[in-house]
Amino acid sequence: MQDKVWIFDTTLRDGEQALKASLTEEDKIQLAHTISRLNVDVMEVGFPVSSPADFRAVQRIANEVKGPAICGLARAMPKDIEACGLALKGAQQPRIHTFIATSPLHLQHKLRKSLDDVIEMAERSIKQALQYTDDVEFSCEDAGRTPFDDLCKVVDRAIRAGATTINIPDTVGYTTPDEYAAIIHHLRNNVANIDKARLSVHCHNDLGLAVANSIAAVQAGARQIECTINGIGERAGNCSLEEVAMIMKMRQDHLKVHTGIRSEEIYRASRQVATICNMPVQPNKAIVGENAFAHSSGIHQDGVLKAQNTYEIMAPETVGVPNNQLNMTSRSGRHVIEHRLSELGYQAADYDMDQLYTSFLELADQKGTVYDYDLEAMIHFNKLAEQDEFYQLQFVNASSNSQSIASATVGMSLGEELSQEAATGNGPVEAAFLAIERITGHAVEVIEYNLEATGQGASSLGQVNIIAKFDGRQYHGAGLASDVVEASVRAMIRVYNLIDRARKVSDLKQQRKAG
Ligand SMILES: CC(=O)SCCNC(=O)CCNC(=O)[C@H](O)C(C)(C)COP(=O)(O)OP(=O)(O)OC[C@H]1O[C@@H](n2cnc3c(N)ncnc32)[C@H](O)[C@@H]1OP(=O)(O)O
Ligand SMILES: CC(C)C(=O)C(=O)O
Ligand SMILES: [Mg+2]
């Protein structure tokens, strides 16, 4: 029977310490429900003494969220423990987590206390916490820089005082995996009562080693990992929950441990944390980044099409990502194009691959990603036709100020015909998009809107990139202008022109079928 490693999520406590604006009570409740769906064992949700709002948030989560143990953080101080105990009163399984630093640096400069003073404070706090719950965790802050002998002494006394979990934080992300594993080994071999408590680890990512250190500690016998979704947390962040959970799932053969995490809930949780915390995930982030299951180069795409596990060690659905992505770029090869076209209903006889691939590379070099509608246009117009665009911008006139509703008037030609419409909106861009919608007679769903300044200083141009969805398909439009509303309108008109072209392509397809 393999050992279970407990997952202690601290997104709502250590994770929150990294945010520019603290989470509201409602944000915390929403995230707490999401985190509990991951089936974590413990959820640290705040620091009740720190503010009345955090006290209320911890209290509400303790009352409302069932499943994991609900934990609050407290310094080794009576008022902190009391606030924590009161806030957690409604929890089915309350855990009080109390901590104090043990490294010489923190003792001398921050706490200005001796090791013995700190041990006494820890003992008093653990005993006080036990009046509220029998589940008490104690952390030796900055354990990573604490001498072994001191650490053993503190841990021994904390367990004797009644702590049921002992946490060994690498608070400043200083240790390397072998050093960190050695600390865990040393404690297991030199603290007589160590088996009376669960040994936990809490790693920070200052040198990018939080995940590696946590796994090394598990290999050395630790049985709880403290971590956060997307790895958010103080400074460079904490150990990332999704990474350690998936390492232990995918490499159970090697590590011989398991967790209770429901991995299919990971992606949803990651997206929600990124949105609510306003901390976007980097595209190349393991497990949850936009590119984690995307393949862009021809050799990889060919491999994945032949056998998915050639370049994917786990299926995207395992972590709740709906599907992998095969991006068509100038690094793509013929196999992926053929595959995509067959998904779109084309057979090899419908096109000349050599000719198509030449046009494809030309276009991909120009614009980066080639979309379905580009591929179809290349087939039907042989090469991407620089045909006259049906919709042309004549003018855009927008106004907005802090006191009134934004409005815009847009004038466009539709072939020979001229048309203009006005609309109001939350901002001038939205108003202009609504005016375009009225002119064209159909609405698109904007999935991504990206505005960047191109150039330097005040003479920069605004470049707008839009990804919009119409009739189940995505279209990409780009617009460049000194005025950001005009750049947005140009990008949107490009989208409408691509939709128009896709429609013409579809008519041609129908005619070919009929003929
Ligand atoms: C490694 C970590 O992540 S620890 C958790 C960090 N999280 C936070 O700090 C977020 C919440 N913090 C807060 O809201 C505030 O800092 C509070 C309410 C806790 C304290 O606020 P203040 O009383 O104004 O103190 P301040 O934060 O300026 O200084 C911290 C004090 O706590 C002491 N202290 C620090 N850690 C501990 C501890 N574990 N046990 C006891 N005392 C401690 C410091 O020595 C300092 O004491 P001093 O005033 O005697 O010098
Ligand atoms: C409070 C403790 C566990 C902490 O966050 C740290 O040491 O990093
Ligand atoms: Mg921390």
CB count within 10 Å of CB 488 equals 29
Tokens of 232: 């958010």
Whether the predicted pLDDT of 510 surpasses 90:
no
Give the residues across from 392 on adjacent strands. 413
Tell me the average pLDDT across 332-337. 96
CB 223 within 8 A of CB 201: no
Q: Tell me the pLDDT band of 463, cut-offs 50, 70 and 90.
A: confident
Q: How far apart (Å, rounded) are the C-alpha atoms in residues 502 and 505?
A: 5
Nearest partner of 391 among 498, 289, 302, 272, judged by Cα: 498
Q: Per-residue pLDDT tens for 342-397?
A: 988 888 888 999 989 998 998 898 878 898 888 887 887 654 454 568 999 999 99
Expressed in angstroms and rounded, the spacing between residue 14 Cα and the centre of ligand 2 is: 7
pLDDT at 247 over 90: yes
Closest CA to 288 of 266, 309, 308, 273: 266
- When pLDDT is cut at 50, 70 and 90, the band that residue 299 belongs to is very high
CATH 3.20.20.70 assigned to domain 3-276? The reply is yes
More confidently predicted of 374 and 29:
29
Identify the H or E element spanning 36: helix 25-37
pLDDT at 61: 98
Least confident of 86-100, 397-411, 412-426, 451-465: 451-465
pLDDT at 33: 97
Q: Higher pLDDT residue, 347 or 436?
A: 436
Residue to mutate (ligand 2; options 84, 154, 165, 167; most atoms within 8 A of CB):
167
153 vs 348 pLDDT, higher one: 153
Give the mean pLDDT of the chain: 94
What's the rounded Cα separation, in Å, for the pair 133 and 10?
Answer: 19
Q: Is 50 in the pocket of ligand 1 (CB under 6 A)?
A: yes
The response to whether 202 counts as a known ligand-binding position is yes
pTM of the predicted model as reported, rounded to 2 decimal places:
0.83
pLDDT at 253 over 70: yes
- Higher-pLDDT residue of 381 and 106 is 106
Asked whether the predicted pLDDT for residue 92 surpasses 90, the reply is yes
Specify the 3-state DSSP secondary structure of 382: coil
Comparison of pLDDT for 129 and 480, the residue scoring more: 129
Confidence band, pLDDT 50/70/90 cuts, at residue 504:
confident
What percent of the chain lies above the pLDDT cut of 90?
82
CA 321, 290, 299: angle at the middle one, nearest 5? 95
pLDDT of residue 402: 84
428, two tokens: 């001038």
Those residues with Cβ within 8 angstroms of residue 345's Cβ, 6 or more apart along the chain or in another chain: none
pLDDT of residue 376: 82
Q: Which tops the pLDDT comparison, 506 or 206? A: 206
- pLDDT of 423 reads 97
Contact 147, 182 (CB under 8 A): no
Contacts 24+ apart (CB under 8 A), 461-465: 461/487, 462/487, 462/488, 463/487, 464/488, 464/490, 464/491, 465/491
* Nearest alpha-carbon partner for 61 in 105, 31, 22: 31
| Spatial separation of the C-alpha atoms in residues 380 and 359, rounded to whole Å | 12
Query: Residue 46 — pLDDT band, cuts 50, 70, 90?
Result: very high
Residue 384's pLDDT is: 46
44 CB within 6 A, ligand 1: no
Q: 3-class DSSP state for residue 471?
A: coil
In terms of Cα–Cα distance, which of 252, 214, 254, 248 is closest to 231?
214
Distance of alpha carbon 436 from alpha carbon 193, whole angstroms: 73
Q: Supply the pLDDT for residue 455.
A: 62
14 known ligand binder: yes
Q: Per residue, what are the HEC states of 270-296?
A: HHHHHHHCCCCCCCCCCCCCCCCCEEC
Ligand 2, residue 238: give the atom nearest the CA: 8
Closest Cα to atom 2 of ligand 2:
141
DSSP H or E stretch at residue 156: helix 148-161
pLDDT digits (tens, 9 = 90+) for 189-205: 999 999 999 999 999 99
Specify whether the CB–CB gap between 306 and 312 falls below 8 A.
no
- Residue 10: predicted pLDDT: 98
Q: Which of 126-130, 386-390, 466-470 has the highest mean pLDDT?
A: 126-130
More confident residue, 249 or 377: 249
The mean pLDDT of 155-176, rounded to a whole number, is 98
pLDDT at residue number 482 = 81
DSSP label at residue 371: P
**How far apart are the CA of 143 and the centre of ligand 2, in A?**
10
The contacts of residue 445 (CB under 8 Å, 6+ apart) are: 468, 469, 470
Residue corresponding to tokens 């194009």: 337
Interacting residues of 37 by C-beta distance below 8 A, sequence separation 6+ = 262, 265, 268, 269
Amino acid 79: pLDDT? 98
Atom of ligand 1 nearest to the CA of 99: 39
pLDDT band at 281 (very low <50, low <70, confident <90, very high): very high
User: 141: Cβ below 6 Å to ligand 2?
Assistant: yes
pLDDT of residue 367: 78
CA of residue 123 to ligand 1 center, whole Å = 18
Q: Which fold has domain 391-514?
A: Double Stranded RNA Binding Domain (3.30.160)
| Contacts (Cβ under 8 Å, ≥6 apart) of 213 | 170, 175, 176, 177, 180, 201, 203, 239
pLDDT of residue 21: 84
Distance 80 CA to ligand 1 centre (A): 10
> Across residues 426-454, what is the average pLDDT?
93
Please state the domain extents for the chain: 3-276, 294-380, 391-514
